[in-house]
Amino acid sequence: MANLWFFGDSFCHPCTDDDSSIPPIWWGSLLSKKINKEIILRSSGGQSITQTVIKLNDWYWNIKPNDTVMIAYTTPYRIYFDNVSVSFTGGEIHHPHNYTPRQLDAIKLYMLELYSENHQQAQWVTYVSYIQNQIVPALEKNNVEVKQFYSFEKFNIYSPIPILDLPEATHWVWANGGDSSVLETDGHFGNDEVGNFNLDWAEHIYE
């Protein structure tokens, strides 16, 4: 059986504690059933664009002809430190409980002394451009199907080679009648309690 690969952040991950226990409601599960391909998760909640590039590079040669690859491009404001992705916006570290006190001290020192928003944005657009203009064409040349989207809005950061206009998951949820209660669910596409957009998103992103 061919495989269905997922790379990116929580919009491309079921947000379960155990990757071997994927809920059938998740849009990736629905897509897997529709196209009859086995799920392989190389995505994770809070994954930075740097970590996505590393995962794609690490697993590139394992992706075979007739596989399908889903890629979610996250926000620029996630920073990667040796297998740890950190979200930092508004001067605050998101989910500080995920890090040890020593790691928090190191992250805060980095943000105070070395961090540059312009550098972070330039790094993001460089990595997105690399994926879109190097990795994806090489996969497609090898008869791999690739579907891409931005988890949040596309950041209009200057690049000599413009990055693609793609679906924006958060905007799509709002445009289709969803709200913050949908986006706050595991996987961000809702459930039967707040409104379930998983099937609609699977069909939209795969069309």
Report whether 151 contacts 74 (CB < 8 A): yes
pTM beyond 0.85? yes
Give the whole-angstrom CA distance, residue 189 versus residue 206: 15
Angle of helix 27-35 relative to helix 198-206, nearest 10 degrees, comes to 50
Q: How far apart are the first and last CA of the chain?
A: 21
**What confidence category does residue 43 fall into, taking pLDDT thresholds of 50, 70 and 90?**
very high
Q: Given a cut of 80, is residue 170 above it in pLDDT?
A: yes
Average pLDDT over residues 95-120: 85
Query: What is the distance, to the nearest Å, from the Cα of residue 37 to the centroid of all Cα atoms in its chain?
Result: 20
Q: Given a cut of 90, is residue 24 above it in pLDDT?
A: yes
